[in-house]
Each structure stands twice: as C-alpha cells, then as structure tokens.
C-alpha cells in the first residue's frame, strides 16, 4: 500500500435524460463526496460540444474533475458506482461514459485528448472513434450502454489537460432533492438586481428587451439557476444577490460557453457541411421573408455565386426585426450552425448597406403631372400633354439600420455563442441583444 499521492482527471458525460438528473450535478456531488479523502485541485470543467448533434436535447454538456488522491483505484471505483447508481440509465438517449487519466499518463495523452476536445466542439465524432482512442491511449474508462458518453468524457479530460482555450465561468446552484420536478422559487427581481450589480462582468442572467429571466431552467433537472460570467468573483457576487428557495449545493465551473469555439471560418459556401457551425461573409441575395411559425429567412450569396438560406428563427424574437431590414446587395457576415441546408444565425455583422430606392412613375417634364406607364417596356406617357419619358423616378429611402455587429437576445443564446460584450477591438460598432 503506497502512500504516494497521484493526480487524477475524471471525465464524465451523458448521465442525464430529458426527465431528470444533470451531469453537472453528478459532478458537484462527486466533488463534495470525494473531498473528505482527496484534494480537489482546480474548479471542475464544463464543456459544451457541437451544438448541432441531435442525440442530446439539453445542450451537449460534459464535465471533468481534477484531483489529487492517495488511492486512485478507490476513487475510480467510487466514481463508477456513483455514475451507475445515479445516471438515468433507463433514458432512451442516456449512454454514460466515464474516463480516468492518471498523472503518469498526462504527458503522453495531452496532445491527442486536447485535439479530440477541439474537434468534438466543431465536428461530428463517432462512438467507435472514442472507443479506439481510449484503448490506444490505454485509459481507464467505463462505457454504459452504447457508450456515446465516452466522446464527451474524453473531451472534458482533454479540456482539463489543455490550459490554452478561451473560457468563462458558470455558477450553478442546485435544488434540494425533494423539490426536483416542481416549480422553481427564485425571485425574479433579485435576478434583475444581480444583473444590474454585475453586468457586464456577468451576462445572460436576464433578458431586458424581452423582459424575462434567462438563468433559471424549466426542465425537471436539479439546477436551480446558473450565473455566467468572466471570472469566479463576478459570478459569486451576482449569486449573492439572488433570493430563492434553499440551495442544496453549488459549484463553479470553468467552461467554453460564450467563446464561439464551435465556429469555423470559411471563405465560401462550397466548404460548408451539415452539422457544423460557421463564420461566412456574403451578400444578401433575396429579400428576407417571414414564414409560418414566425421564422425570418433570406438567401445569402458568396463571392463564387453560391447561395445558402440563413434564418432568424422565431425564438430569436426582436433579432428578427433587424434581419427583416436587410435588402439584397447588403454585405454581411453571418455566424451560426448549419442544419437542413440552413444557417441558423447567432450573430450578424452588417458591413456595408446598399442604398434603397423607391421606384415611382416620373413626373412629366413639361407639365409636372405624374406620368402613366405606356405599357410593358414602353416607358411612360403623360395623359395630360402626351409627353413621353423612358426614365423612372428613383427616390432614395433612408435605411432604418446601421452597419455594426448584432446578436440574438439572451433568451435565444446558444451555450457556445460568444456574447458581443466579450469581443474586444472589433472594428464595427457593437449592438448587444440586451
Ligand atoms: Zn405633361
């Protein structure tokens, strides 16, 4: 029996179902249970993976813990037992995965796990690939059911081993078990006060434009609320203003939320693939149209002349009003995910707006009356004096929109989407969806 301490990274994913549980809660519970006999080294990591993956309905999150312990096998057994007993294994789409990386492996696996993490945020990865990598790197792991959770568990370990990615923090408060599934008691005004006291160091707590709170979920899981922000002290400060039902436990995570880590720069539409997320520049090709369900859609043309549909869906609320002001010829950059051949806009840069004209029949150059069309392709004719003209009257209209960088409101934010307030030195004016 050795008394030497060893460091251990534990990655966990996919323990929740639509009905209950939450992988972050399991992580907080393990951290608290383990802390009596291990040293927790840093705050846990919460990573969001490719948001277009359809298997998960609630945000594609996975977690990692970093700790130092005397008996790693004891910790590994306890973690596997906890996941086996608490994960929603009955859930049709719940396929937990747990991965362990021990200190002596850190150097060997760091690069491969880190690039796996970065790919899992942008790309579509198969379960087989995750299983192969776990074996190749000789990692201890446990895959339940089809083992899809291995993808997130490996990614979270990669994120923990790699300090070099943009990050934010989230303070998650959890409910007492007896009340799971019931209505959450959180005073709305206290959330607005938390926002007032800490914005812009925290964000997406409330949505001012749509006058709703954003940080309190509605599902049956154990999360009471989540405060997002730039550092630990800011999210703690915001949480101190929240008045709510009793908090059973809380945990602060380092996360890739709000970083745009999912986005890939492309120079043209021919490079775009389904289930990936992009930054794409082009020209508005068709007039934005609002279809059934309240979704606003237009087509965008790239420099090669290819077209793609871009959409501001109904949940983006007031953001659609901005999109409806675009006209063909406007030069823009769109940020968002592509599914079903449509780019779902998260942010938009309006680079150059074309002039808009109202085209009218001309006034008669002789008598000043408004002329009539003389028939298709025949120009215009004055009914009063018979003068003919070929020229229309183009009246320049004022564009009710300015070049700048715009985002969807907090109530429609994707987890990974970087808030405009997090951009520095952007060359365009910034219009946060606040
Ligand atoms: Zn006339």
**Ligand 1 centre and the CA of 381: distance in Å?**
8
**Ligand 1 centre and the CA of 370: distance in Å?**
8
Q: What is the largest CA-CA distance in the chain?
A: 110
- Which residues hold their Cβ within 5 A of ligand 1, which is an ion? 364, 366-367, 382, 384-385, 387
Q: CB of 409 within 8 A of CB of 317?
A: yes
**Ligand 1 centre and the CA of 398: distance in Å?**
29
Helix (H), strand (E) counts: the chain: 8, 26
Long-range contacts of 287-296 (CB under 8 A, 24+ apart): 287/327, 287/328, 288/323, 288/324, 288/326, 290/320, 290/324, 294/320, 295/320, 296/320, 296/323, 296/324
Beta partners for 64?
Answer: 11, 45
Residue 56: the pLDDT is 58
Query: How many alpha carbons fall within 13 Å on the CB side of residue 321?
Result: 7
- Residue whose pair of structure tokens reads 């490079």 in the numeric block: 271
Query: How many alpha carbons fall within 13 Å on the CB side of residue 280?
Result: 31
Residue 290: the pLDDT is 96
**Ligand 1 centre and the CA of 387: distance in Å?**
5
Query: Which two structure tokens, joined as six digits, stand for 271?
Result: 């490079």
**Ligand 1 centre and the CA of 360: distance in Å?**
16
Cα 228 from Cα 205, distance rounded (Å): 7
The predicted-structure confidence for 337-377, as pLDDT tens digits, reads as follows 999 999 999 999 999 999 999 888 999 999 999 999 988 88
**Ligand 1 centre and the CA of 122: distance in Å?**
65
- Where does 229-284 have alpha helices with state H? 232-240
**Ligand 1 centre and the CA of 397: distance in Å?**
26
DSSP string, 189-237: HHHHHHHHHHTTTEESSEETTTTEE-SS--SSSSEEEEEEESSHHHHHH
Mean pLDDT of 406-422: 96
Evaluate if residue 153 carries a pLDDT over 60.
Answer: yes
Residue 279: the pLDDT is 98
Cα 231 from Cα 170, distance rounded (Å): 9
**Ligand 1 centre and the CA of 371: distance in Å?**
7
**Ligand 1 centre and the CA of 376: distance in Å?**
20
Q: Is residue 200 very low, low, confident or very high in pLDDT (cuts 50, 70, 90)?
A: very high
- Residue whose pair of structure tokens reads 């790699």 in the numeric block: 162
**Ligand 1 centre and the CA of 379: distance in Å?**
14
Q: CB of 45 within 8 A of CB of 63?
A: yes
Residue 3: the pLDDT is 55
- Where does 280-420 have alpha helices with state H? 319-323
**Ligand 1 centre and the CA of 390: distance in Å?**
14
**Ligand 1 centre and the CA of 368: distance in Å?**
6
Evaluate if residue 218 carries a pLDDT over 50.
Answer: yes
The predicted-structure confidence for 77-90, as pLDDT tens digits, reads as follows 999 999 888 888 87
The helix (run of H) or strand (run of E) holding residue 272 is: none
**Ligand 1 centre and the CA of 382: distance in Å?**
5
Residue 327: the pLDDT is 97
**Ligand 1 centre and the CA of 358: distance in Å?**
22
**Ligand 1 centre and the CA of 222: distance in Å?**
77
Cβ–Cβ contacts within 10 Å for residue 379, how many?
14
Q: CB of 242 within 8 A of CB of 401?
A: no
**Ligand 1 centre and the CA of 362: distance in Å?**
11
Radius of gyration of the chain (CA): 27
Q: How far is CA 132 from CA 147, 151, 274, 336, in A?
A: 12, 11, 25, 31
Query: Which two structure tokens, joined as six digits, stand for 266?
Result: 């492309």
**Ligand 1 centre and the CA of 374: distance in Å?**
13
**Ligand 1 centre and the CA of 396: distance in Å?**
24
Domains of the chain and any CATH numbers: 6-161 (3.30.70.2200), 168-255 (3.90.600.20), 263-355+399-431 (2.40.50.1010), 358-394 (no CATH)
**Ligand 1 centre and the CA of 388: distance in Å?**
8
């Amino acid at each position: 029996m050795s008394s030497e301490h060893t460091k251990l990274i534990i990655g966990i994913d996919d323990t929740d179902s639509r009905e209950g549980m939450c992988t972050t809660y399991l992580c907080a519970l393990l951290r608290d249970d383990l802390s009596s006999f291990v040293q927790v080294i840093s705050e846990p990591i919460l990573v969001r993976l490719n948001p277009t993956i359809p298997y998960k309905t609630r945000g594609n999150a996975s977690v990692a813990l970093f700790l130092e312990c005397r008996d790693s096998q004891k910790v590994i057994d306890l973690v596997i037992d906890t996941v086996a007993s608490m994960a929603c294994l009955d859930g049709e789409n719940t396929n937990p995965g747990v991965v362990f990386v021990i200190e002596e492996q850190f150097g060997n696996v760091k690069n491969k796990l880190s690039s796996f993490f970065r790919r899992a945020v942008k790309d579509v990865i198969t379960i087989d690939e995750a299983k192969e990598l776990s074996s190749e790197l000789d990692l201890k792991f446990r895959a339940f059911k089809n083992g899809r959770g291995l993808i997130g568990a490996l990614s979270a370990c990669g994120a923990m081993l790699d300090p070099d990615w943009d990050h934010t923090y989230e303070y998650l408060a959890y409910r007492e078990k007896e009340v799971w599934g019931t209505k959450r008691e959180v005073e709305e005004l206290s959330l607005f006060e938390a926002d007032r006291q800490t914005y812009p160091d925290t964000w997406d707590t409330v949505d001012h434009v749509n006058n709703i709170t954003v940080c309190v979920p509605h599902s049956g899981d154990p999360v009471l609320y989540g405060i997002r922000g730039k550092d630990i002290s800011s999210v703690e400060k915001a949480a101190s203003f929240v008045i709510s039902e009793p908090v059973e436990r809380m945990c602060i995570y380092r996360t890739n939320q709000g970083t745009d880590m999912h986005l890939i720069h492309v120079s043209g539409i021919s490079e775009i693939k389904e289930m990936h997320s992009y930054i794409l520049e082009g020209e508005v090709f068709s007039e934005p149209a609002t279809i059934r369900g309240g979704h606003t859609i237009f087509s965008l043309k790239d420099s090669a002349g290819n077209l793609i549909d871009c959409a501001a869906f109904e949940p983006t609320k007031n953001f659609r009003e901005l999109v409806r002001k675009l006209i063909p010829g406007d030069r823009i950059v769109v940020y968002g995910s592509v599914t079903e051949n449509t780019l779902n806009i998260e942010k938009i840069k309006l680079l150059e707006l074309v002039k808009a004209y109202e085209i009218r029949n001309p006034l008669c150059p002789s008598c000043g009356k408004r002329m009539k069309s003389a028939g298709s392709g025949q120009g215009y004719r004055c009914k009063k004096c018979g003068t003919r003209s070929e020229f229309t009257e183009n009246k320049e209209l004022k564009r009710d929109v300015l070049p700048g960088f715009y985002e969807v409101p907090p109530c429609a934010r994707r987890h990974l989407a970087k808030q405009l307030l997090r951009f520095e030195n952007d060359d365009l004016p910034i219009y946060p969806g606040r």
